[in-house]
Structure formats: C-alpha cells, structure tokens
Structure 1
Amino acid sequence: MNCCQRPPEGDMTPEQNGSRNQSLQDWLQLLSQDESEMHGDGSRATRVLIATVYCVVCALGLVGNLLALHLLRSRHARQQSTVNVLVMGLTITDLQFVLTLPFWAVDTVMDFRWPFGKVMCKLVSSVTTMNMYASVFFLTAMSVTRYCSVTSSVKMSRRPHGCSAKWVSLFIWSSALLATLPHAIFSTTVKVTDEELCLVRFPDSSWDPQLLLGLYQTQKVLLGFVLPLITISVCYILLLRFIISKRVGDVSGDHSHDKRRSKVTKSVTIVVLAFFICWLPNQALTMWGVFIKFDIVPFSKAFYNAQAYAFPLTVCLAHTNSCLNPVLYCLIRREFRAALRDILLRLAPSWNIRLPAITPSASVAPGVIQTSVRRTAGLCCR
C-alpha cells in the first residue's frame, strides 16, 4: 500500500476472501453504511485541504531540494566528504518524492479514485514507496557515518571519503529498490465499491490475501521505521557515551574540535528527529491495520475513523519531511549558509538589495567561514 491511497487497502471483495477476511467485510459494510458521511461536505473539505497541502509541500519541496542541490555543488560544500555525498543522495530522494505529490493530490480530490490508469498507478506508487525506503536508509547511513567519523577522528584513524560513500549510496538505492519489488509487482488498479482505486492486490492463492498484505505492511514498518530507529538510537547513544568519556578523560583537549564535532552531530540529530516525528503517526496507524489483519485486535469504528480521517493527515505530516530537510540544512550547516549568502550577493544588484560588506581575511583556511559571514548568513536563513 502506498501512503496516499484510500483506507480500504485490502482490495479483495468479501466473496473472494470468505470467512478468512472478516475485517475487510466489516470495513466495506461500515463504508456502505457511512457512505453519505464519507462523501459529505466535511469530507470534501478535508480532501481539498489535504490536496492543497500536497501541492504546497510539492512546491516548497521542489524549491528547497533544488536549492539544496545547488548549495551542495557550491564552492563551500564541494568537498567529497561522506556526509555531503549522503546528503546529496537524501536530497535527490526527497526531490523524487515530492514529484509524486501532484498525482496523489488529484487522487485525493477525486475521493481517492485513481484517474491515471494502471501503468501510472504502478509507477507513481512504486516511486513513492522506493523513495520512502531510500530516505530512511540514507538517514540511517548518516547516523552511522557520523558515529564512525567522530570516533575515527579522535583515534587519528583514516576517515571514510566520498568514493566509499558513493558505494554506500549505490547499496542504499539497491536495497530500496529490492524492498519495493512487492509493491511494484502487486500494485494495480482495482474496483472497490464501483470506484477504481490504486491499491496493492495480492493474487488468489492458498494464502489469505489479507494476511499477505499484513506481512507486506509489517515489512514496511520494520524496514522503513523500526530497524532504522533502533540503529540510529544505538549510534547516538554510543556517540554520546564516547564524547562524554573523551571529555572526562582529556580535559586539555582541543575545544574547537569538540565544538565543531558537537555542531555537526547536532545537525544530523535534528534532521533524523524531524524524519521520525513526521513519520511516526503514519507508521503507528499502519501497524494498527496490521494488527487487525492478523486478528490481534478487532476491527472497530475507531479504526475506521482513524483510517478515514486521521490517516490522510498523517500522510500530510509525513510528506512535509521532504521539504523540511532542505530548510534544516540551510539553518544548521554553516557551509550551506555561506553558499546561500553567495547566491544572495549575486542576486542583490538586480533586486537592489544591499547586504553588509565582507572583509576578506587571509588567515582563514579553506572551508572555514568567517564570523561575519556566518552571522549574516544566519540572518538570511531565519
């Protein structure tokens, strides 16, 4: 199931599933009883609001991620460090992700009816799912890389460089593609209550299709949320423990290095926390549906209301992460702020904008931004 589809994602009819698919029968019965409510003015207003949010996120995400790509190519961030390569991969992932939002906006406005055909259903839903996996994989790799980078710099070991990071990026994309294969194979357009929807449909077999759908959604929650959360949490716990131990054991250490290390760690932490805060509600509701498919909890009106009304809002929250990451890069990473200031300096004459002058300093090493530039760039990004 893609994160934007209509709640009744188990796409087999009650006649096909029989007694094994009681939860879906309950869903369709409740949907039939509440059809007037689902298609009422409140529901229509909600759909229009959600579609509007999709369009706004798409526009902001396009501008933000394209700007982030430009900043990554600037002279301040051109070095092929591991973090920069991973940030580049994450930015490309978010850019592809927001390009699918106009399709889901139309789907939402049309009461979740899919008007683009079977081929586009497979393509758009698969790209959406693949980039969801790739985003969390890149964020996980950034956390692992940050831990390895900090510990190796203190131990004076050889640091990973951009070349190895490119192989890591290739592995991430390959893993995301592999995890998306079930979605790419089984996503299709299906008639549900006389409406053509874009769903994941497993074929008739000795296995209950709803059970297969539950297993697939469990895979999404585990690979796309739980396991990365555990990995990232362990990395930051170990990193915090390492930094504390070094500060205690080396009082006369390099405070400038400690300060820089702390800033970089803070930036990665904020980006990662933003991802999980945005995706947690969506993943929680998805897991609730999995419990129902496995008959762990019964189908209820509360679940119906959550899927019909709360689930689309969690999708909006999840999608905002794709335009939030570039903003975080601009606000946190000083090389991006300096590159953004360079852009504003070039645009200032044509816009008749006066920016404070910068006095060059010959003592500043390459890649180090002067204090005056940092302060001014910080004002540009507030």
Structure 2
Amino acid sequence: APCINSSDSDIALNGLSTLILSAPVLRCMISITYSVVCVVGLIGNLLVFFFIRVRQERRISKINFFILNLAVTDFQFVLTLPFWAVDMALDFSWPFGDAMCKIILSVTVMNMYASVFFLTAMSITRYWSVASALKDRGKQTSCSIRWVSVVLWSLATVATAPTSIFSTVTNVAGEKLCLLRFPDGQYWLAVYHLQKILIAFILPMAIVSISYLLLLRLIRQRSMKNNSKRRTQVTKSVTIVVLSFFLCWMPNHAITLWGVLVKFNAVYWDKSYYIVHTYVFPVTVCLAHANSCLNPLIYCLMQTGERACDSVLWNKRKYYISLFKGYLTQNSSHVTLRHIYSTSRFSKSV
C-alpha cells in the first residue's frame, strides 16, 4: 500500500532488526519508475480534466463527475511520488522533516482510499444507470452526486486519521525513517494494515466485480443478444477495469497480509519473509502507484463501454418511436392530443 515505510519493511518495535536493506540497483530503478509514473500520471490526469471541461456541453453526468473526482485523487497522489522517489533513492532515509512526513504520508494514504472509493462508486453507478433505463421505470430514484462525493471524501479522511496521528520520523540505526509508530507496537500496526486490506481492497474488489458482472449479465439478457460487436466492446472495457484494479493492488495487499500474520504470530518470520519484504515489496508498492497512470486509460475505456450501453438504450427508444409512427399512420383519423401526449411521454421514460 502507499504507506511505503509503514508496512512490514519498517522497523520492528519489539527488538527485531530493520528489514530495509534493498539493493542499490533495485532502489535506483524504483526511484526512476516513480519519476516516470509521476510525469505520466500528471499528464494523463490533466488530459482528463481537459477532456471533461472541453467535451462537456451540458450538465456533467454522474459517471463523469466521479471520473473528475478520481482524476483529482490521482493527480494529488502522483504529486507525492517525487518525495517517495528521493526516500527510496536514499535507502528509505527521510530528508524532509517530521511535518512533511505527516503531510506526504497522509495525502498519499487519503488519496489511495479516495481513488478506490470512487472507482467502486463508478461501478455501482454504471450498473444502476443501465438497469434503471432497461427496466422501463417512469421515475428513477436518484440522489445528489455531489453529496455522495462529499461522503466518499469524508470516509477517506476518516480512514486516514490513524496515519495522520501516528506517522512520524524515527531514528533507526542512525537513519531517519518516515513510518507509522503505534504506542503498543506491532499489534496495532497489524490491526491497521488488516483494516486497510479490508476497506481498500477486499470489499471494493467484491463490489466492483459484482456490479460489473451484473451489468454484463443485464446487457446480454436484455439488449445485446444480436449485437456481438457492442457486447464484446463492453465486455473488454469492464474486464480491463476489474483486472487493472486487481493486478495493481493484489500483490501489495497479499504481502501486507503476510506481514499481518507474522505480527499476530500466526506464521513464522523466516528468510523468505525477509527477502520478499526487502526486494519484492517495494516493487509491489511501485505497481500500486502505477494504477494512477492507468486510471486515465480506464476512463477512456469506460467512456467506450458507456457509449455502447447508451447505443443500446437509443436503439430501444427508436423501437418505441417506430411503434408510435406506425400507430399514427394506421390510425391518423382517430389520433387525439391525449394519445400523442401519453405515447410520447412513455417513449421518453424508457
């Protein structure tokens, strides 16, 4: 996870030695990767801002509003990467002071939570929008998208509170490290990482997967039986959305979970644990950070999938319009204003 030095590669507070002795070549490569991710992420998310601002002709849609918030979180997230690149290049020695440690670590974690929350909200909104339209509801239930965004940002802030409180610069073997240090040592650090795995990965992954699976099933059953091209288009975009989220975050959370089990004495600390946390864990952190570069691409794919879904709804509207025209042709002498009003109202509600 983004708590680079607060996971199981940090200090052991009960007399264990430090685990952070990464090879110089690996540290250099990861620092360079952080820099590249920062540049690409900044450009990609700025393009998202530009695209939404230029292409938005009317009121911003729910999905685009979530995408805008997602771009804000990723933009803020990649701004922290230069600090972590320097930290990595200096073998985790933090040169920016205690205040910047709290600020950078808190901003990193908060935007990690916010990014995951908005991706999850987008999956629910996409399914609900299509499901509501295909079920011919005359009146669709809705809520303020801005209030939903406020709630998501508030949840991300609350989830970040432990990081803001317990992040600090600590001297370990003569080096200043920016990490989390809980009063009661490893137990609360393990609890912190466990809740992070649940809130930032397992629950969102389950919700995203279920939402998109329901969306695919709904589209296949109701609207795309005879349109394999659009069905494939939607399926590809949905698959990439889910896989990118899973592949970017799963390795990091899997290793973090291993560390949680070690801290709870459920598994033993051994050489393989040391090697994984020294050499593999920094790579998984880098992979998780790369998700901020992929989100602009995901945005484009979701727009493609959304256009395919919207084309389904438009085809359905055209079907009812054709029925209406046929009705006018066959019964032109008996058409009343009441008929026209009720029929046109029905077609608009589809």
1:284 to 246, 249, 254: 254
The amino acid of 1:322's aligned partner reads S
Give, in angstroms, the shift of residue 11 of structure 1.
5.1
Question: What SS does the corresponding residue of 1:189 show, helix, strand or coil?
Answer: strand
Residue 117 of structure 2 aligns to a residue whose secondary structure is helix
Q: Name the amino acid aligned to 2:104.
A: V
Aligned-partner Cα distance in 1 for 2:211–2:300:
24
Select the residue among 215, 235, 239 that pairs with 2:215.
239
CA distance in 1, matches of 2:280, 2:57: 40
How large is the Cα RMSD of the aligned pairs? 2.7
Q: Name the residue aligned to 1:347.
A: none
Q: Is 1:152 paired with 2:153?
A: no
Instruction: Return the letter of the residue paired with 1:123.
Output: I
In structure 1, what is the Cα distance between the partners aligned to 2:263 and 2:14?
15
Give the secondary structure class of the aligned counterpart of 1:333: helix
Distance of 1:287 and 1:300 partners within structure 2 = 15
Instruction: Indicate the residue corresponding to 2:148 in structure 1.
Output: 168
2:104 corresponds to = 124
Unaligned runs of 5+ in 2: 308-350
> Secondary structure of the equivalent of 1:290?
helix
Deviation at 1:223, TM superposition (A): 0.3
For the residues of structure 2 that align with 1:167 and 1:270, how far apart are their CA atoms? 29
Q: What percentage of aligned pairs have identical amino acids?
A: 51
Residues 79 and 164 of structure 1: CA distance in aligned 2, closer, same or farther (over 3 Å): same
CA contact (8 A) 2:127 2:215 kept: yes
DSSP 3-state at the match of 2:171: strand
The answer for the alignment partner of 1:363 in structure 2 is: none
Assess, with a 3 A threshold, how the Cα gap between structure 1 residues 260 and 84 changes in structure 2: closer, same or farther. farther
The equivalent of 1:323 in structure 2 is 293
- Which of 230, 233, 248 does residue 206 from structure 2 map onto? 230
Task: Find the partner of 2:122 among 130, 138, 142.
Answer: 142
2:178 match: secondary structure: strand
In structure 2, distance between residues paired with 1:77 and 1:222: 39
- What is the CA distance between 1:266 and its match in structure 2? 4.8
Where does residue 84 of structure 1 map in the other structure? Answer: 64
Alignment partners' CA distance in 1, 2:180 and 2:232? 44
The answer to whether the 8 Å contact 1:100/1:128 transfers is: yes
2:2/2:289 contact within 8 Å kept:
no
SS of structure 1 residue aligned to 2:269: coil
1:103-122 C-alpha deviation (Å, 9 max, x unpaired):
00000000000010111000
Identify if the C-alpha distance between structure 1 residues 259 and 90 changes in structure 2 by more than 3 Å, giving closer, same or farther. Answer: farther
Change (3 A) 1:234 1:98: same
Q: Is the contact between residue 202 and residue 212 of structure 1 (CA under 8 Å) also seen in structure 2?
A: yes
* 1:292-329: CA deviation from partner (whole Å, max 9, x where unpaired): 00111000110111010001111111111101111333
One-letter amino acid of the counterpart of residue 199, structure 2: L
Partner of residue 187, structure 2: 211
Contact 2:67 2:299 in 1 (8 A): no
- The code of the aligned residue for 2:33 comes to V
Query: Could you say which structure has the larger radius of gyration?
Result: 2
- Paired residues of 1:139 and 1:272 also in contact (CA < 8 A): no
AA at the equivalent of 2:125: T
1:177 to 127, 145, 157: 157
Alpha-carbon distance in structure 1 between the residues aligned to 2:231 and 2:125: 13
- Partner Cα distance (2:2, 2:292) in 1: 16
Which of 90, 95, 98 is 2:75 aligned to?
95
Alpha-carbon contact 1:71-1:336 (below 8 Å) kept: no
Q: Which residue of 1 aligns with 2:50?
A: 70
Q: Distance in 1 between matches of 2:74 and 2:128?
A: 25
| 3-state secondary structure, aligned to 2:259 | helix
